[in-house]
């Protein structure tokens, strides 16, 4: 393998002829859990971004595998199954909003790339059939994934008025939601914080790039600053734990900490740095990435250099030693994103 392809080793080892497997037992795939649409959508984004940077045949091959998986998971009505067994039998009927949202984001990312025409054409096909489902979403995170996908779509088809209207509508949903929830101590869109929180301000930053509404920018900045205040101390990134999350007026759960939150913070802080030019966001992105490498509550590295995989998180007792798809993909997304930050002071 080339040095660039070594970065895909962990993802490759989790991928078979069907797609990326969902879970592992330690570093070995646990076939009982099969495959998930949201994991394969994120894997597609990682492969596309890797190919954009390095142009290797391996990243192209992996992207094709994940795109094939998404085609297989799409239902006749444009929605998606989210779970597939190792026997390739669908394990659900309704799917999830997050699953569809991730596909829309992945399709928009692929369309707005230098991938071969056939990849971008299939991605547009998937996107166009899925978009009507997003109008019934109730999950803010699914809406954020959709908004990022729409922004990718816009950069390829900037004159499609319907896409601009969809972006404006979703951005307004978030600004209205923020204004109805915010107070002097709580600058967020809901009365609780759960997972992948930075994706919401990230989506508003991306909407600002497209439509230039300063309200989107102001609320993206205010909500990201709120997350930074909550999730960083003087020493390290301290993501909200899954064992209780963080409700308004309550206490932030310290554990379990998961790679998805660190990865999302890297991406949101990076786009904030690019737009605002404030080095505090570059430092936030770098510090969130350093969480993977031991600058965390336990001083333990979650990244396995030998296999290019990531452990599944930090528990109160220490390292979760499984290495599933979500964790390894999120590490790769964070690393690829971090490489896009210019040198300090060059904004």
SS (H, E, C) 149-207: HHHHHHHHCCCCHHHHHHHHHHHHHHHHHHHHHCCCCCCCCCCEECCCCCHHHHHHHHH
Tally of structural domains, the chain: 2
- Note the pLDDT tens digit of each residue in 106-154: 999 999 999 999 999 999 999 999 999 999 999 999 999 999 999 999 9
Q: Beta-strand (E) ranges in the chain?
A: 24-25, 28-29, 35-36, 83-84, 192-193, 246-247, 303-304, 309-310, 313-314, 319-320
Q: Model-level pTM?
A: 0.96
285 contacts: CB under 8 Å, gap ≥ 6: 265, 266, 267, 269, 270, 273, 337, 338, 341
Are residues 128 and 217 located together in one domain of the fold?
Answer: no
- Which one of 120, 135, 150 terminates a domain? 135
CATH number at residue 10: 1.50.10.20
- Domain assignment present for 285: yes
Are residues 109 and 163 located together in one domain of the fold?
Answer: no
- Domain assignment present for 151: no
Host domain of residue 14: 1-135
Average pLDDT, the chain: 95
Give CA 36 to chain center in angstroms. 15
Say yes or no to pLDDT of 347 above 60. Answer: no
- Report whether 58 contacts 51 (CB < 8 A): no
Are residues 79 and 43 located together in one domain of the fold?
Answer: yes
- Report whether 47 contacts 66 (CB < 8 A): yes
């Amino acid at each position: 393998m080339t040095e660039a392809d070594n970065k895909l080793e962990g993802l490759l080892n989790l991928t078979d002829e069907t797609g990326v497997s969902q879970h592992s037992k330690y570093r070995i795939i646990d076939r009982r859990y099969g495959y998930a649409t949201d994991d394969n959508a994120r894997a597609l984004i990682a492969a596309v971004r890797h190919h954009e940077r390095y142009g290797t045949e391996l990243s192209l091959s992996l992207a094709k595998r994940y795109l094939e998986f998404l085609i297989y998971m799409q239902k006749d009505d444009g929605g998606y199954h989210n779970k597939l067994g190792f026997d390739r039998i669908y394990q659900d009927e309704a799917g999830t909003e997050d699953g569809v949202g991730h596909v829309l984001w992945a399709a928009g990312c692929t369309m707005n790339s230098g991938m071969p025409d056939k990849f971008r054409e299939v991605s547009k096909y998937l996107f166009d059939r899925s978009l009507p489902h997003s109008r019934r979403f109730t999950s803010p995170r699914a809406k954020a994934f959709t908004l990022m996908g729409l922004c990718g779509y816009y950069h390829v088809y900037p004159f499609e008025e319907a896409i601009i209207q969809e972006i404006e509508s979703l951005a307004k949903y978030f600004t209205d939601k923020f204004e109805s929830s915010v107070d002097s101590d709580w600058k967020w869109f809901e009365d609780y914080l759960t997972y992948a929180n930075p994706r919401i301000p990230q989506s508003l930053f991306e909407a600002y790039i497209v439509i230039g509404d300063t309200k989107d920018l102001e609320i993206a900045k205010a909500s990201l600053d709120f997350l930074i205040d909550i999730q960083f101390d003087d020493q390290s990134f301290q993501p909200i734990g899954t064992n209780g999350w963080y409700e308004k007026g309550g206490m932030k759960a310290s554990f379990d900490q998961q790679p998805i939150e660190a990865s999302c913070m890297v991406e949101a802080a990076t786009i904030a740095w690019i737009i605002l030019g404030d080095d505090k966001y570059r430092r936030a992105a770098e510090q969130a990435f350093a969480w993977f490498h031991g600058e965390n509550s336990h001083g333990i590295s979650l990244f396995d250099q030998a296999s290019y995989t990531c452990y599944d998180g930090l528990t109160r007792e220490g390292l979760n030693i499984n290495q599933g798809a979500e964790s390894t993909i999120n590490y790769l997304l964070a690393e690829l994103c971090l490489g896009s930050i210019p040198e300090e002071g060059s904004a």
